[in-house]
Structure 1
Amino acid sequence: MSRTALPLAVGDIAAFARVLRARIMENETAPSHLELLNWLARAAGYKNFQHFRATAAPKAVPAPAPRAPAPEPMDENRLKRLVRLYDADGRLARWPSKRGMQLTCLWTMWAVLPPRRDFDEPTVTGLLGAAHGFGDPVLLRRELCDMGLLWRTPDCRVYRRIERRPPPEALELLHRVRGGRTGSRPGDASVAGGAS
């Protein structure tokens, strides 16, 4: 097993020598290896050798952060299927059966909640109710909370939208569903809430 080199640097070698000499003179026998290490560390200004080793050991160099994978091209057929779930007014007409499509559609529900505001439960239910046509705002509210897009207090009295940047597919869906109706773009504060 190889040992890690622990270089010792002292600010003043004369003071270091004085402290070390005093330690040697007050000891009647030759110090053990560990005693000598502790003396050297104390003479250099550390509490003991363990303290010196903890501060002098080279720190592990963190591995470089992995590169983000290149974004996959959007599946145009999937986007068309998602858009067909919405009516002409941009309301979610039906809840998709596939979980992946549900998660993407939840971003459009998230976008109808104004950013940086607290709401009570009836207000959130009303906002979500106006954004869909299948009559289950409670499902949408619960799914938004479970997905981490909507925060609520334990007693469910206060709700707040959590600011996040929608994934590219959700941004494109927002653009297609809302862009034709309101002319807003995915980067607009009204859609993305200024999230980054």
Structure 2
Amino acid sequence: MSRVALSLQIADLSGFAKSVREQLGKLPEPPGHVEMLNLLCRSAGFRNYQHCKGVMEAQQRLQMPAPPAPAPVDYALVERAVRLFDEQGRLLRWPTAAALQDLCLWVLWSRLASRQTFSEKQISELIKRWHVFGDHALLRRALIGWRLVQRTLDGSEYRRIEQKPPAELRPLVTRLRLGA
């Protein structure tokens, strides 16, 4: 196998190290050479080594700047948010910290079907199933206030606003599906 020199830029070294540590922790034994290359490339935001190599070679051919690094994940925030949900993924209480409120609302947003219109009754019923503290109106208003859901002026129709979620949403939703 010929050796190709690849320059790997890491925008968030701390996030990269956390990702490497997390992936190494899942392995039963130390990784081999190719497995380690794949692990490092995944931590840098690529699918695997071949994907990384292909992107780097294409950039060199096109003389384009490197793609932006993925947003770093605040795993401490994810761990705090996990504790706010029960085993069925229902929100146990409304947090006081704005960052946690935001992340909890993103979880609810992710459960709403995209490009679908809901009546007030439908969205309220969904929210009631996704929490246990009995204040679906607070959550519905917060989803609108955080601009995650839009509603008509008369309040008869609600729709999820399509947008890029925070980096913390994916690991949080994964943990909730696995049973925190």
Q: Which category of TM-score, normalised to the shorter sequence, fits these structures?
A: 0.5 to 0.7
Please tell me whether residue 74 in structure 1 is matched to residue 86 in structure 2. Answer: no
Match of 1:87 in 2: 86
* Distance change (3 Å), C-alpha of 1:73 and 1:116: closer
1:104-126 C-alpha deviation (Å, 9 max, x unpaired): 11011112211111111011000
1:125-179 C-alpha deviation (Å, 9 max, x unpaired): 0001100111111111111111111010000001111112211112211111124
Whole-angstrom distance in 2 between the partners of 1:163 and 1:179:
25
Whole-angstrom distance in 2 between the partners of 1:114 and 1:157:
17
Secondary structure at 2:150 match in 1: strand
Q: Is the 8 A contact 2:92 2:131 kept in 1?
A: yes
Question: Structure 1, unaligned stretches of length 5 or more?
Answer: 1-66, 182-196
Match of 1:160 in 2: 159
The residue type paired with residue 167 of structure 1 is: P
* Distance change (3 Å), C-alpha of 1:73 and 1:119: closer
TM-score by length of 2: 0.58
| Pairing 1:5-154 to 2, within 5 Å after superposition | 71-75=71-75, 77-154=76-153
Which of structure 1's runs of 4+ aligned residues deviate more than 4 A?
Answer: 67-70
Secondary structure at 2:108 match in 1: helix
RMSD of aligned residue pairs (Cα, Å): 1.9
Give the length in aligned residue pairs.
114
* Distance change (3 Å), C-alpha of 1:180 and 1:103: same
The residue type paired with residue 71 of structure 1 is: A
Whole-angstrom distance in 2 between the partners of 1:131 and 1:141:
11
TM-score by length of 1: 0.54
Whole-angstrom distance in 2 between the partners of 1:153 and 1:109:
20
Whole-angstrom distance in 1 between the partners of 2:155 and 2:107:
22
1:35-74 C-alpha deviation (Å, 9 max, x unpaired): xxxxxxxxxxxxxxxxxxxxxxxxxxxxxxxx96763352
1:50-100 C-alpha deviation (Å, 9 max, x unpaired): xxxxxxxxxxxxxxxxx967633523x332211010001011111111011
Whole-angstrom distance in 2 between the partners of 1:105 and 1:128:
12
Higher RCO, Cα 8 Å, sep 6+: 2
Higher CA-based Rg:
1
